[in-house]
Chains A and B, each alone.
Chain A
Amino acid sequence: MTSLRVRLIVLAVALLFLLFIALQVRWRRLRARYLVLWAAICILVIPIVIIPAVANGISSALGIYYPPATLFLIAIIVLFAINFQFSREITRLEERTRILAEELALQRVTEDKPFSDPEDVASEPARPAAVRGGR
């Protein structure tokens, strides 16, 4: 099976990645829900890699003769699932963006007299009305 050296490298990479995502959350580059997702994957990977018996056990249970293939299979399935979930989230975000764009357009409907929305003039007396939307 895998040599001790390879296992140590993978373990180090996994731990470094855990640290990295923790820092990302700290810097607010990553939302906490994704911290949970990636940390869970990291933590699940570690025992599979460190203890060969785990991979061997799963392989024989699935009827796979070559244990590394089991790891690849699991990795592909997990990555596929995450990717698909991201497609769903992008769809939802895009829909929200669209609705915001439509609502913005409806908020600033001009009727006959363009650039004479009384609300805007009232709330921003300093700015000339004609500049609105020009930026």
Chain B
Amino acid sequence: MSPAAADAAGTVPARDRTLVIIPALNEEQSLPAVLAALRSAGWHHVLVVDDGSRDRTAAQAARGGAMVARLPFNLGVGGAMRTGFRFAARRGYQRAVQFDADGQHRVDDIPRLLQRLDEGADMAVGSRFAAAERTYQQGRVRAGAMGMLRVTITLLSGRRFSDTSSGFRAYSASLIDFFADAFPLEYLSDTVESLLLACYAGFSVVEVPVTMRVREAGRPSTRHVRLVYHYLRVMLVLASMASRRSRRLGRVAA
């Protein structure tokens, strides 16, 4: 997608209708580089949702030229993203990109995600594993849990996803409206449940192979014991979601 691509009105460049949403928790070290990379690639509409950080994440985000929404306390990635969707819906952004604050996603991949939206998809998910070569390193417990999740999702949705825990995604305008109200809020559900929710609600979801870097700074947000608990919780939620397959949940928040 070229930066010069204009909308139907022919005035606003595509990049100005796209909001990059960065949920951030204690990422003051990696955030400046991420924001600088986005800015130099031409993404000027960046919203950092500071999810109750204890460090100077919000200040670094403001210094990096991003818009900053500071949550008064920690809501988790789901709450931060819903805040971002609300913002995007109210400001009339046509597309939103979810991007990590820790530097594991590559700015160069954003246009490839958005291209799939242009082709008619509602949600494009950057997948570490869709590509032929496997470059991303991960622990065995995590890999096992993710593998089981993948199988379950395939059973429930009838779709095959190679990377259900990716936090690198692009959303269409209709999905922004949908998720401004209905984005799942609990830990881990922001990735898996949101994927299924979008599928159940009839949105088209596609995967795009991307490469992700090893985290630049900060700690991974998961520990193994917690991962097992949350995995079980997600399983129960998914099972209960299967019964409301046809119900349309979408209602745009006022």
Contacts and interface: CB of A to CB of B under 8 A. Distances in A.
A110 B62 CA distance: 8
Contacts of B86: 102, 106
A114 interface: yes
A97 to B, nearest CB: 9
Contacts of B10: none
Contacts of B58: 114
A109 B79 contact: no
Nearest to B49: A105
B73 A101 contact: yes
A106 B79 contact: no
B183 to A, nearest CB: 10
A102 B67 contact: no
Most buried by A among B59, B75, B83: B83
A119 interface: no
A112 B86 CA distance: 19
A112 B65 contact: yes
B67 A109 contact: yes
A125 interface: no
Nearest to A108: B70
Interface residues of B, number: 22
Nearest to B68: A110
B185 interface: yes
A92 B83 CA distance: 18
Contact of A114 (B59, B75, B79, B83): B59
Contacts of A98: 75, 79, 185
A101 B79 contact: yes
Contacts of A106: 69, 83, 86-87, 90
Nearest to B50: A105
A104 interface: yes
B33 to A, nearest CB: 19
Interface in A90-121: 98, 101-102, 104-106, 108-112, 114
A132 to B, nearest CB: 11
Interface of B: 47, 49-50, 58-59, 62, 65, 67-73, 75, 79, 82-83, 86-87, 90, 185
- For the complex of A and B, the 4 pairs showing the least CB-CB separation, nearest first, are A114-B62, A105-B69, A102-B83, A105-B71
Given A101-B73, A101-B75, A112-B65, 12 more contacts: A102-B86, A104-B71, A104-B72, A105-B49, A105-B71, A105-B72, A105-B83, A106-B87, A108-B69, A109-B67, A112-B62, A114-B59
10 contacts: A105-B50, A105-B69, A105-B72, A105-B83, A106-B69, A106-B86, A106-B87, A109-B68, A114-B59, A133-B70
